[in-house]
Amino acid sequence: MVMEKSVGPSDDAKALQEDLGKPLRRNHELLNTAAFLEALPAFLSPDQASQQQLPDLLETLRAITALADP
């Protein structure tokens, strides 16, 4: 008896990928919203060192949301 092995992702894996991708796509929309970008510094401590981390934070958020792209 010969068993065939599926090369592509299973239906369960595709469904999981779709479910996990939805919130990431919503975050992608937020990163393109001016109001979100203007408010983001308020979520960091007001000191200069913390505020200087904003570019790194944005880069990290964009990298995470890029995971939703096929």
Which tens digits make up the pLDDT trace of 11-50? 777 776 677 667 666 777 888 899 999 999 999 999 999 9
Provide the whole-model pTM.
Answer: 0.62
In the block, residue with structure tokens 């090369």: 7
How far apart (Å, rounded) are the C-alpha atoms in residues 70 and 63? 13
Domain ranges of the chain: 14-66
How far apart (Å, rounded) are the C-alpha atoms in residues 24 and 9? 20
Tokens representing 23 are: 């919130």
Instruction: Evaluate if residue 4 carries a pLDDT over 60.
Output: no
